[in-house]
Amino acid sequence: MAKLRINNIDIEVEDNLTILNAAKKYNINIPTLCNYPDLHINSECRICVVEIEGRKGLVTSCSTPVRDGMVIKTNSPRVLNARKTITELILANHDSNCNACAKNMNCELQNLSSVLGIDKSRFESTLEIAPIDEDNPSLMRNPNRCIKCGRCVIVCKEVQSTNVLELMGRSHALTVTPAFGKFLSSEECTFCGQCSSVCPVGAIMEKDETDKVWAAINNDNKRVIVQIAPAVRVSLGEELGMAPGSIVTGKIVSALKLIGFDDVFDTDFTADLTIIEEGNELIQRVTTGGTLPMITSCCPGWINFAEQNFPEILPNISTCKSPQQMFGALSKSYFTEKVGIKKEDLFVVSIMPCTAKKYEAQRPEMSVDGKHPDVDVVLTVRELGKMIKQMGIDFKTLEDTKFDNPFGITTGAAAIFGNTGGVMEAALRTVYEVVNKKPLENIDFKDVRGLDGFKETTVNLGGMDVKVAVVHTLANARIIAEQIKNGTSPYAFIEVMACPGGCIGGGGTPYGTNTSVRQKRIDALYEVDGAMAIRKSHENPSITKIYEEYLIKPLGEKSHHLLHTHYHARKVKHNEDKKNVMATY
């Protein structure tokens, strides 16, 4: 323990705690900017400086460990002046047209200037206007707002290992861009959007598509339907002033109805369907000597990553479309037929915790008629939050409403699709019972739950012990993909989700996501699961019905056409090793 003095109070804290965290324990919140809970300390912005008696310079509290006997001032005139000056320097090289920024009122820089009482920067603007990167379906990068805090670069490199964004150049000309200063569309971006979820300002955000939805809703010729992903029900509340992990399923349905959607459906329905198709695919691969391990395909960030970096393992990926796209395909076939409208008169909206889903919906394969996308617009949780605010809905006091049918009856298995390990657990609940023809004694697969980056378990299927694994973050996915590539993977089935924690930590979830928030959202999904009457996908009566009415059988011809897809290597990589280089010379 170290005894020290902060401002005028004596405190005692564990050794090796940073000054920032030590002060926090005593309710002194030193302002920060580049600091982000789950990322390593960058100490770039210098906002969190404090004065330590006996030291000439100021030190950053985020990076300096406490020492016994330290006398620290967090609010001396020297400290306050430094903080203010630094903030003004940032503002002088930032597009401060806050009213025209979607991050307005939700911006860490804006908040900091307000806390420090800055009304304008005393420095002349040095901003040089650069073009906005927005020619991809998912993300918008506005370099004029970038404050070079480096969070996005750290996430892109260390969490996702995608290495798309880098700090380029130096000094005042420092920028954050992909290689050769190009746009995201031309690089190996998976559109996972983790960069957007850590950006303190409005420099990287999802592409706002709310206007398209407002237009569709106000078009009398369109029937506008909406699906909400599992993770949305435990994260949207935060966007509207509720605590992390609030379960708001019924309120979302009510809000969507108020906004004007004709039918409000649940992606959980097609999550159950995914389990039936994917489970059968797994059984088929295992019993007929197909390519193993099989890898889940729900996550579009992961699909992009695999197509770009691991073309060799594409045959390992389940051919099942993601629940979002199964929903889209059924909407523009089964549903339109059922309600008797033309495909072009149906407008399908998805609410997703994800930015890569925007990309996925625009893939040419994701169209049953080959002309129109099955899912017309994908909104992130944040965009839905915005629509609810625009509509003036008092979300917290909304009554619950139930989902519409035919895509409204779901199971607990589908709910947990929204977190890491959930797809695996849902699949095991079904595959075990289908293969072993007996009910599971305990349907909770606790080994695959939780925030560990890498989880595994063994299940007995038809007398055979089968090893399965669960990974999240693309850095962990890379490890498991390398294993498969090298032929050393011991697993039969692997679940991959690109974002930390799975979809509940997706790039489209409310700002401020960190480990503790992720855990709360996960806990909430298991709570939803536990409260459901049916907790196994194959017991969902609506699923049984859609097979009877329309799909006939899993992996059948209709399924093949509507619910399965294929992947393609996106980029031929220069992968010559040293030997090949010698050969070309």
User: What residue ranges bind other proteins (CB under 8 A)?
Assistant: 41, 43-47, 49, 56-58, 60, 63, 65, 78, 81-82, 85-86, 89-90, 92-93, 122-124, 126, 148, 150, 163-174, 178-181, 187, 573-578, 581-582, 584-585
Q: Which is nearer to other proteins, 89 or 443 (CB)?
A: 89
Burial classification of residue 249, based on how many CB atoms lie within 10 Å of its CB (0-12 exposed, 13-18 middle, 19 or more buried): buried
Q: State how far the alpha carbon of 432 is from the alpha carbons of 111, 137, 160, 264, 437, in Å.
A: 52, 39, 32, 32, 8
> Min. distance of Cβ 488 from other proteins in angstroms?
19
Q: Which is nearer to other proteins, 46 or 141 (CB)?
A: 46
> Min. distance of Cβ 2 from other proteins in angstroms?
15
Q: How many CB atoms lie within 10 A of CB 264?
A: 24
Rounding to the nearest 10 degrees, give the CA dihedral for residues 468, 473, 479, 483: 30
- Asked about 337 being catalytic, the answer comes back as no
- Asked about 101 being catalytic, the answer comes back as no
- Asked about 298 being catalytic, the answer comes back as yes
Structure tokens at 237: 């509340």
Q: How many residues does the chain have?
A: 585
Written as one letter, the residue type at 50 is V
Determine which one of 34, 62, 189, 298 is catalytic: 298
Q: Which is nearer to other proteins, 203 or 409 (CB)?
A: 203
Q: Which is nearer to other proteins, 122 or 446 (CB)?
A: 122
Cα separation, 362 vs 169, whole angstroms: 34
Determine which one of 103, 357, 455, 536 is catalytic: 357
What are the backbone angles phi and psi of residue 186, rounded to the nearest 5°? -95, 0
Give, in degrees to the nearest 5, the angle at Cα 123 between 119 and 127.
100
Structure tokens at 472: 């999240």
**Positive/negative CA dihedral, 113, 118, 122, 124:** positive
The set of residues, in sequence order, having a beta carbon less than 8 Å from that of 283 and lying 6+ positions away, is: 431, 434, 435
- Asked about 199 being catalytic, the answer comes back as no
- Asked about 318 being catalytic, the answer comes back as yes
> Min. distance of Cβ 343 from other proteins in angstroms?
41
Q: Which is nearer to other proteins, 54 or 57 (CB)?
A: 57
Q: Which is nearer to other proteins, 62 or 551 (CB)?
A: 62
- Asked about 61 being catalytic, the answer comes back as no
DSSP string, 192-257: --HHHHH-SSSSEEEPP-HHHHHHHHT-TT-EEEEEE-GGGGGTHHHHTTPPTT---HHHHHHHHH
> Min. distance of Cβ 84 from other proteins in angstroms?
9
Q: Which is nearer to other proteins, 187 or 238 (CB)?
A: 187
> Min. distance of Cβ 140 from other proteins in angstroms?
19
> Min. distance of Cβ 167 from other proteins in angstroms?
6
Determine which one of 51, 277, 281, 425 is catalytic: 281
Determine which one of 44, 134, 209, 365 is catalytic: 365
For the chain, report the end-to-end CA distance as a whole number of angstroms: 62
Q: State how far the alpha carbon of 415 is from the alpha carbons of 174, 535, 537, in Å.
A: 44, 9, 10
- Asked about 357 being catalytic, the answer comes back as yes
> Min. distance of Cβ 190 from other proteins in angstroms?
13
Active-site residue numbers? 278, 281, 298, 318, 357, 360, 365, 503
